[in-house]
Amino acid sequence: MQLPPFLIERMFAKHEFTCRVNLTGSDTEGLSLGALWEVAPEGTRRWYESLTLGYTDSAGHPLLRELAAHSSGLSSGSAVQVFAGATEAVYVLLNAILSPEDHVVIIGPTYQLLIDVPRAIGAEVTEIRLRREDGWQLDVDKVRRALRPNTKLIVANFPHNPTGALPEASVFEELLGLVDGSEILLLSDEIYRGIELEPQRRLQSAAALTPNAISVTGVSKVLGMAGVRIGWTVTQNAAVTARLLDYRYWTTLATSAPSEVLAIAGLQAAPALMDRANSLVRANAGALASFVESTPGWDWVPPVGGTCAYPWLTATEAQAFSDWLVDCHGVLLAPDVMFQHAGQHLRFGMGRALFPDGMAALAQAWQEWQHKDARNLSD
């Protein structure tokens, strides 16, 4: 299998740890160990401190699987397969269930992993793009019309990266109705579920609503624990879970014992950590709204859920501006070419503590860019 360059991860490798401010990272502010132990059970902290660093269960620690299942509305840990991050979970899932004869429908624009791994496997891919003209709203009829006799999988990601879109519950249930009782599976990337600008808009996990759904999530985004590298799949489909475990023997085999205990602590403290994440994102979304809605040359559809927003420049090419911005001002923004959506959009990640500083730097840089453009036009 030949994989293409992973564009956004190449960008992060070059700039993430050297830029002045990262305005595009889609995680929430990294949690310190001290802050975790302030809200997690004392018994879990003692367990962590006395942990033996041997092999772990390839399916995941039973308590981790139970907590993960409960977070998706299921009662049994047998529905969960643990991985070394949600990226591995998606990669293994796609390789375990797809073949070159299959057809996949993907709701885009999307994180490159979700669309280019099926292509690399040899499956035929149809992308149904959300449109800003429609307010980034999901049109289930378009997905329905794209289905074929050999469609094996629909791939959805809500809350959505990069747009921040989140369908109404009735629309999401309509999407699930396309796979329920059929031979088609749904990969529901729910890594941002739990961060909603309007709390009542939180969707139920797809895995709890139909046995044909496989939900993927982890501790990276909502819990602020990206460095722990723990993710998982949840599904009522026991045959799929068994295939995932068989495939996992060929990848990382098992996860880190310290990471599993930290993930357990995070799930035990999830209400407090989710409140932290939502407070950060809502405050930063307000700062972004103030900038976009008062600055000529910018426009957007306000995000509804997750950490991401996807404004666009009304008269400027996104990649040219983002390259200049990081090179000249050390402010990192991902242009839409990273989502195979080249044009005028920029992805903002609203989960970091330094977001207000980044917005101040962006406002100053934008004025300089406008003056530079004006000078170029007069030359």
Residue 374 lies in a domain: no
Q: What is the pLDDT of residue 153?
A: 98
- pTM for the model stands at 0.97
Domain coverage including residue 200? 51-270
Q: What is the pLDDT of residue 1?
A: 86
pLDDT tens-digit readout, 41-68: 999 999 999 999 999 999 999 999 999 9
Residues 113 and 261 reside in one and the same domain: yes
Q: Give 43-102 as a DSSP string.
A: HHHHHHHT---S---TT--HHHHHHHHHHTT-S-GGGEEEESSHHHHHHHHHHHH--TT-
Tokens of 183: 């031979």
Tokens of 115: 């669309």
Residues 343 and 259 reside in one and the same domain: no
Contact criterion met (CB below 8 Å) for 192 and 159? yes
Residues 352 and 244 reside in one and the same domain: no
Domain boundary among 270, 298, 330: 270
Residue 331's contacts (CB-CB under 8 Å, 6 or more residues apart) are: 19, 20, 21, 23, 325, 358, 361, 362, 365
Residues 13 and 103 reside in one and the same domain: no
Contact criterion met (CB below 8 Å) for 235 and 214? yes
Low-confidence residues of the chain, pLDDT below 70? 373-379
Residue length of the chain? 379
Query: Cα separation of 370 and 97, whole Å?
Result: 49
Residues 335 and 186 reside in one and the same domain: no
Rg of the chain over Cα atoms, rounded to whole angstroms, equals 21
Query: Cα separation of 290 and 286, whole Å?
Result: 6
Residue 42 lies in a domain: no
Total number of domains in the chain: 2
- For residue 302, which amino acid is it? P
Q: What is the pLDDT of residue 254?
A: 97
Residues 60 and 168 reside in one and the same domain: yes
**How large a percentage of the chain has pLDDT more than 90?**
96
Residues 293 and 250 reside in one and the same domain: no
CATH number at residue 262: 3.40.640.10
Residues 110 and 256 reside in one and the same domain: yes
Residues 105 and 158 reside in one and the same domain: yes
Alpha helix segments (H runs only) across the chain: 7-15, 33-39, 42-49, 62-71, 86-97, 112-121, 140-146, 169-177, 238-248, 257-268, 270-294, 318-329, 355-378
Q: Which residue in 281, 310, 286 sits closest to 221, CA to CA?
A: 281
- The number of beta carbons lying within 10 Å of the beta carbon of residue 283 is 13
Q: What is the pLDDT of residue 377?
A: 46
Residue 159 lies in a domain: yes
Domain boundary among 224, 248, 270: 270
Residues 254 and 301 reside in one and the same domain: no
Q: What is the pLDDT of residue 375?
A: 61
Residues 98 and 243 reside in one and the same domain: yes
CATH number at residue 311: 3.90.1150.10
Q: Which residue in 284, 163, 156, 164 sits closest to 210, CA to CA?
A: 156
Residues 228 and 279 reside in one and the same domain: no
